Structure 1
Amino acid sequence: MEGFADVEIRRSARRRKTVSAHRDGERLVVLLPAGLADRVEQRYVREMGEKVLAREARRRPSDVDLVERARDLSRRHLEGRAVPTSVRWVTNQGTRWGSCTPSQGTIRLSHRLQGMPGYVQDYVLTHELVHLLVPGHGRDFYALLDRYPSCERARGYLEGWSGRDETAWDDGPEPAPETAEGDGVSPPA
Structure 2
Amino acid sequence: MGEVEIRRSSRRKRTVRAYRQGDKIIVLMPADLSDEEEQSHVRSLVERLDRRERRVRPSDAELLARAAQLSDRWLDGRATPSSVRWVTNQNTRWGSCSSNDASIRLSHRLKGMPEWVVDYVLLHELAHLIEPNHSARFWALVDPYPFSVKAKGFLEGVSWRQQ
Common fold, TM-score beyond 0.5?
yes
Counterpart in the other structure of 1:75:
72
Which of residues 100, 106, 117 in structure 2 aligns to 1:103? 100
- Aligned to 2:154, the other structure's residue is in SS state helix
Task: Provide the TM-score with structure 2 as the length reference.
Answer: 0.74
Cα offset, 1:60, TM superposition: 2.2
Counterpart in the other structure of 1:155:
152
Task: Provide the TM-score with structure 1 as the length reference.
Answer: 0.65
What is the root-mean-square deviation in Å for CA atoms of aligned residues? Answer: 3.6
Counterpart in the other structure of 1:172:
none
Percent identical among aligned pairs is 50
Does the Cα contact within 8 Å between 1:59 and 1:115 map onto a contact in 2?
A: yes
Cα offset, 1:35, TM superposition: 4.1
Q: 1:22 to 1:33 in 2, by over 3 A?
A: closer
Q: 1:27 to 1:94 in 2, by over 3 A?
A: farther
Counterpart in the other structure of 2:143:
146
Structure 1 segments unaligned to the other structure (5+ residues): 38-42, 167-189
Counterpart in the other structure of 2:113:
116
Give CA deviations for 1:50-71 in whole Å, capped at 9, x if unaligned.
Answer: 8635521233222112112111
Which of residues 105, 125, 129 in structure 2 aligns to 1:128? 125
Give CA deviations for 1:138-174 in whole Å, capped at 9, x if unaligned.
Answer: 21111111021210111122222222779xxxxxxxx
- Aligned to 2:96, the other structure's residue is in SS state strand
Query: What amino acid is the match of 1:86?
Result: S
Counterpart in the other structure of 1:32:
28
* Residues matched between the structures, number: 159
